[in-house]
């Protein structure tokens, strides 16, 4: 097996790296490891989605596991249905990647992301299947024990009803003018219909998927068209999703981008004010902007730091019984209402906050001042586990220089010989200067000694 589980399942170039043969084997391994289901299987709008979904469900069926085809549905929609029906689930999606990539994300029973131990068992099962080879095995079920496949045409409607009930509790969004950028992805049907049903005036961008245009110059990774459209149409707010709609970024009425840190900040204050922010605590990654931390401190909200990656945020929320967490990228988890990040759910919470308070998005987002943040990736000749120790003095000097005014974070990549240098400072110029100095120090410390 050439592909391994990353932070969000298996991902690679469709049909060359992530092949139908691999998808079929993963379906078999999933049935053996996570149970016979029935499995809920959804996908985004990529050209390769039906191919890989067919192969994956064939693998399930060959192990006697039935599956339910949810069709095109956001990743959080699959997770919601898996939680509601207490079933395992799978999503064929590569999230914000270009259309030529695809991936397979798995949810355990109840819509929960897999832990490391389960992923290890899946990989071991895949390796065993590779060793077994292609020929049939007498141990496989036959006759009436072969798994079946059925469709669920009401899947998106069930998800839509959940969103409306979870967020608004009978409230509506009359008069609110919203522009949606659906990234030609999985939100293209459900997001416009939910907003229209709730009484908002909706303008829709990039909701005509053709299998190859997902994330192409649009969505949360390219919000420029949305920013222009919000201003041109005199809208109150814009929401941009990624390809599988587990992320959201927003645009205020002036066209300014509101990132995940700012959205989490305004949601934290709103939930706190309504008594819904348990333990007055929010979980975010170490990459979250210092301005967020300062805003939370002013509000008496504790910030719980996690390593980079939404799975770490989810683990912290589950362990602490917390309600809110997320990442700067717009992956926002409202744990009382969803088992994973949900861009449409988070977006609806933001719109509801605007409608209830009568405040604009710009006013709500002004709760935090976002400090300029610079990231420099330093490629090393090889993995160097002792490099951070050799950089400790340089990092300490930078932290002293920025004490009370900024922040420094130097961390190694978990997958490649790269050190990531992140600096926040009052001005972009100062942040860039400090980051460049630390990057130079890292390169010097990593250089092989001169003979």
- Return the pLDDT at 414: 66
In the chain, CATH 3.40.120.10 covers 10-155, 165-365
Listed in sequence order, the residues at least 6 apart from 17 whose beta carbon sits closer than 8 Å to its beta carbon are 2, 3
Average pLDDT over every residue of 309-319: 91
- Return the pLDDT at 6: 62
- Return the pLDDT at 415: 64
Average pLDDT over every residue of 227-251: 98
Residue 450 pLDDT greater than 70, yes or no: no
Catalytic residue among 25, 62, 95, 188: 95
- Return the pLDDT at 445: 87
Higher pLDDT, 145 or 87: 87
CA distances from 130 to 2, 134, 275 (A): 11, 8, 52
Question: CATH class for domain 373-446?
Answer: alpha beta
Question: CATH class for domain 165-365?
Answer: alpha beta
Average pLDDT over every residue of 331-341: 96
- CATH code for the part of the protein at 10-155: 3.40.120.10
**Of 110-114, 161-165, 206-210, which one has max mean pLDDT?**
206-210
Rounded CA gap, 252 and 360, in Å? 8
CA distances from 64 to 32, 57, 121, 128, 291 (A): 10, 10, 19, 18, 52
Average pLDDT over every residue of 367-386: 90
Average pLDDT over every residue of 77-87: 97
pLDDT bin (cut points 50, 70, 90) of residue 448 is: low
Task: Tell me, yes or no, if 188 is annotated catalytic.
Answer: no
Interval 200-225: pLDDT, tens:
999 999 999 999 999 999 999 999 99
Under DSSP, the state recorded for 185 is T
Interval 261-270: pLDDT, tens:
999 999 999 9
Return the number of other C-beta atoms located less than 10 Å from residue 90's C-beta. Answer: 30
Cβ distance 342 to 160 under 8 Å? no
Burial pattern 385-411, b for ≥16 Cβ within 10 A else e, equals eebeeebeebbeebeeebeeebbbbbe
In the chain, CATH 3.30.310.50 covers 373-446
Average pLDDT over every residue of 383-391: 87
In sign, the C-alpha dihedral spanning 138, 139, 144, 146 is: negative
Residue 348 pLDDT greater than 90, yes or no: yes
Token pair for 230: 């919000």
């Amino acid at each position: 097996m050439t592909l391994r589980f990353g932070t969000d399942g298996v991902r690679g170039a469709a049909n060359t790296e992530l092949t139908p043969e691999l998808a079929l084997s993963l379906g078999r391994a999933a049935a053996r490891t996570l149970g016979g289901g029935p499995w809920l299987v959804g996908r985004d709008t990529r050209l390769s989605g039906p191919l890989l979904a067919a192969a994956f469900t064939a693998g399930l069926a060959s192990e006697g596991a039935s599956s339910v085809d949810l069709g095109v549905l956001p990743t959080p929609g699959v997770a919601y249905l898996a939680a509601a029906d207490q079933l395992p689930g799978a999503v064929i999606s590569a999230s914000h990647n270009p259309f030529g990539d695809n991936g397979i994300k798995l949810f355990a029973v109840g819509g929960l992301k897999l832990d490391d131990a389960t992923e290890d068992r899946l990989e071991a099962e895949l390796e065993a299947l590779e060793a077994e080879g292609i020929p049939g095995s007498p141990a496989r079920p036959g006759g009436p024990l072969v798994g079946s496949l059925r469709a669920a045409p009401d899947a998106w409607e069930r998800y839509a009803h959940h969103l409306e009930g979870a967020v608004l509790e009978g409230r509506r969004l009359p008069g609110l003018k919203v522009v949606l950028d659906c990234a030609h992805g999985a939100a293209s049907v459900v997001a416009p219909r939910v907003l229209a049903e709730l009484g908002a005036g909706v303008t829709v961008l990039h909701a005509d998927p053709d299998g190859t245009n997902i994330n192409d110059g649009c969505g949360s990774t390219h919000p420029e068209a949305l920013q222009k459209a919000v201003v041109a149409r005199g809208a109150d707010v814009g929401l941009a999703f990624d390809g599988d709609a587990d992320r959201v970024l927003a645009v205020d009425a002036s066209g300014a981008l509101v990132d995940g840190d700012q959205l989490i900040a305004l949601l934290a204050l709103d939930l706190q004010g309504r008594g819904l922010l348990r333990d007055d605590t929010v979980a975010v990654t170490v990459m979250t902007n210092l301005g967020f931390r300062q805003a939370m401190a002013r509000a008496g909200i504790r910030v719980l730091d996690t390593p980079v990656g939404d799975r770490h945020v989810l683990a912290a929320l589950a362990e602490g019984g917390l309600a809110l967490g997320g990442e700067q990228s717009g992956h926002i988890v409202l744990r009382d209402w969803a088992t994973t990040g949900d861009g449409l759910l988070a977006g609806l919470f933001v719109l509801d906050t605007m409608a209830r308070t009568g405040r604009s998005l710009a006013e709500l987002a002004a709760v935090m001042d976002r400090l300029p943040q610079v990231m420099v990736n330093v490629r090393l000749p090889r993995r160097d586990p002792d490099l951070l120790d050799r950089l400790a003095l340089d990092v300490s000097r930078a932290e002293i220089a920025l004490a009370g005014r900024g922040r420094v974070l130097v961390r190694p990549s978990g997958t490649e010989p790269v050190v990531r240098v992140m600096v926040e400072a009052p001005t972009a110029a100062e942040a860039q200067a400090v980051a460049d100095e630390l990057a130079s120090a890292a390169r010097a410390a990593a250089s092989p000694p001169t003979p």
